Structure 1
Amino acid sequence: MRHYVATTASRLLGILHAWRWLGPLVVRLVFGYFWLETGIAKVHNLDGFTQRFVGWGIPHPAFSAALSAWTELVGGLLLMLGLFTRLVTIPMIINMIVAVTLVVSTNLMGLDDYVEADEVVYSLIFFWFLIAGPGKVSLDTLIARWLHIRTYE
């Protein structure tokens, strides 16, 4: 019985290993689309988004709102494509740090509130992409192969 379980587990792990490229691809596509969509909405209603920045007391609200909206739109698109993935996560993380620091933290009372905040979870996903990269199925990987750069995928 133990041999059967070990053999079955080994086969399952082999199958999962062969499909390991799918996880980063799906997360990148869905997460990137989320940011592309929110960025488009904010760019199309930039006046309203700027007014939110005014209400939050963010310095230079028109510039800051436009920068934030376009960062989300372009960042989401690049993330979906897996293009400049590690580079694009940096302004996205900064966007989340600003959101947590200047907006979200006013409603957070303790550690539980911080770890449950959407922006903190988003930051962790961006951090994962910064460290792990876009995955095997991405334009970054395709370009790296074309340029003969080892990606450690």
Structure 2
Amino acid sequence: MRHYVATTASRLLGILHAGRWLGPLVIRLVFGYFWLETGIGKVQNLDGFTQRFIGWGIPHPAFNAALSAWTELLGGLLLMLGLFTRLVSIPMIINMIVALALVVSTRLMGLDDYVEADEVLYITIFFWFLIAGPGKISLDTLIARWLGIRTRD
């Protein structure tokens, strides 16, 4: 019985290990689509988005609203493609830090509120992409292989 359980567990772990490329792909596609969609909505209603920046007291609201909207749109698209994944994670993290600091933090009271804020989750996911990269199924990996750069995937 013990041998059967160990063998079954070993097989299951082998299957999961062989499919480890699927996790980053799914997260990249879903998370990237989320940002692409929010960016498109903000770009299509840039005047309304700018008004929100004015209400929040963000300096240079027209410029910063456009920058934020286009960062989300292009960042989401590039994330879905797995293209420049690590690089694009940096402006996305900055975008979320600014949102957290200038908009969201006004209604947060303590550490629990910060940890539960969506922006903290987004920053964490982008940080993971910055460190871990896009995964095996991505344009970044394809380009790296074409250039002869070894990847750990």
Normalised to the residue count of structure 2, the TM-score between the two structures is 0.99
Supply the distance in 2 between the matched residues of 1:45 and 1:127 (Cα, whole angstroms): 29
Displacement after TM superposition at 1:124 (Å) = 0.2
Q: What corresponds to 2:151 in structure 1?
A: 151
Letter in 2 for 1:51: Q
Displacement after TM superposition at 1:5 (Å) = 1.2
Q: Secondary structure of 2:89's match? A: helix
Q: What corresponds to 1:77 in structure 2?
A: 77
Displacement after TM superposition at 1:6 (Å) = 1.1
Displacement after TM superposition at 1:32 (Å) = 0.1
Supply the distance in 1 between the matched residues of 2:90 and 2:5 (Cα, whole angstroms): 44
Aligned residues: 153
Displacement after TM superposition at 1:93 (Å) = 0.1
Displacement after TM superposition at 1:4 (Å) = 1.3
The two structures, once aligned, show a CA RMSD in angstroms of: 0.5
Segments of structure 2 that go 5 or more residues without pairing to the other structure are none
Supply the distance in 1 between the matched residues of 2:122 and 2:11 (Cα, whole angstroms): 34
Normalised to the residue count of structure 1, the TM-score between the two structures is 0.99
Large movers: runs of 4+ above 3 Å: none
Q: Percent identity?
A: 88
Letter in 2 for 1:152: R
Q: How big is each residue's C-alpha offset from its partner over 1:83-133, in whole Å with a ceiling of 9 and x where there is no partner? A: 000000000000000000000000100111001000000000000000000
Letter in 1 for 2:152: Y
Displacement after TM superposition at 1:62 (Å) = 0.3
Segments of structure 1 that go 5 or more residues without pairing to the other structure are none
Q: Secondary structure of 1:37's match? A: helix
